[in-house]
Amino acid sequence: MTDDAVGQSIGLLLPENAILVSDSPTTEGAFYRGTEGARAHDYLFADCGGAIGGGFPVGLGAAVACPDRKTVVFEGDGSGMYTPQALWTMAREKADVTLVVMKNESYGILNIELARVREGDPNEKMLSMLRIDNPSLDWVKLAEAQGVPATRATTAEEFHKQFDAAMSTKGPRLIEAQIVQNLQPMSDYIHDNRG
């Protein structure tokens, strides 16, 4: 499954008047493109200025402020680890919010930032701090432990079905979307983003 496949499903299934919140910087472009022809909606960017971690709280705020509208949050797995306690509050408030956690097991945006500021190639220790696969995060268990029903999608077909079900269900729900992301190699970022 790719971020483009997720974006296509969202564009097809998003209900009228939904609120989208994006805190998945390295996959954001695919979602934005995918929603260009979608039903009318609002789009909030939670990662302004390069900061990450605001998607869950911004989504919670939108769902509480507009309980008659479906809220959908696109959250990177790295970004989500900044504010996972928002899941508990979503369950407590019975917020009508669907959380799509894009699991690529990497702080993708931090890899890009490292490439922009680092002279030469980073060593293995540096790169290990930007991976979140040892141990791998289980977003289904994290959500369920806090009272939010959750599923895992590993294919575009699974995601499409799970997202369709979430759009027709009230209350909080999380989908862990395991994606294969086409990130440039580190050397390409260094070359493309220097000076």
pLDDT tops 70 at residue 116: no
The pTM for the full model equals 0.84
d(CA 192, CA 88): 41
d(CA 139, CA 129): 20
Number of other residues whose CB lies within 10 A of the CB of residue 137: 18
Ranges of beta strands (E only) in the chain are 18-23, 41-45, 71-76, 97-103, 150-153, 173-178
Q: What is the pLDDT of residue 130?
A: 66
pLDDT tops 50 at residue 194: no
pLDDT tops 70 at residue 38: yes
Q: What is the pLDDT of residue 109?
A: 63
Domain residue ranges in the chain: 3-180
Q: Which tens digits make up the pLDDT trace of 135-184?
A: 889 999 999 999 999 999 999 999 999 999 999 999 999 999 998 754 44
- Range of lowest pLDDT (5-19, 83-97, 169-183): 169-183
Q: Which CATH number fits domain 3-180: 2.60.40.10, 3.40.50.720, 3.40.50.970, 3.30.750.24?
A: 3.40.50.970
pLDDT tops 60 at residue 62: yes
- Range of lowest pLDDT (6-15, 24-33, 67-76): 24-33
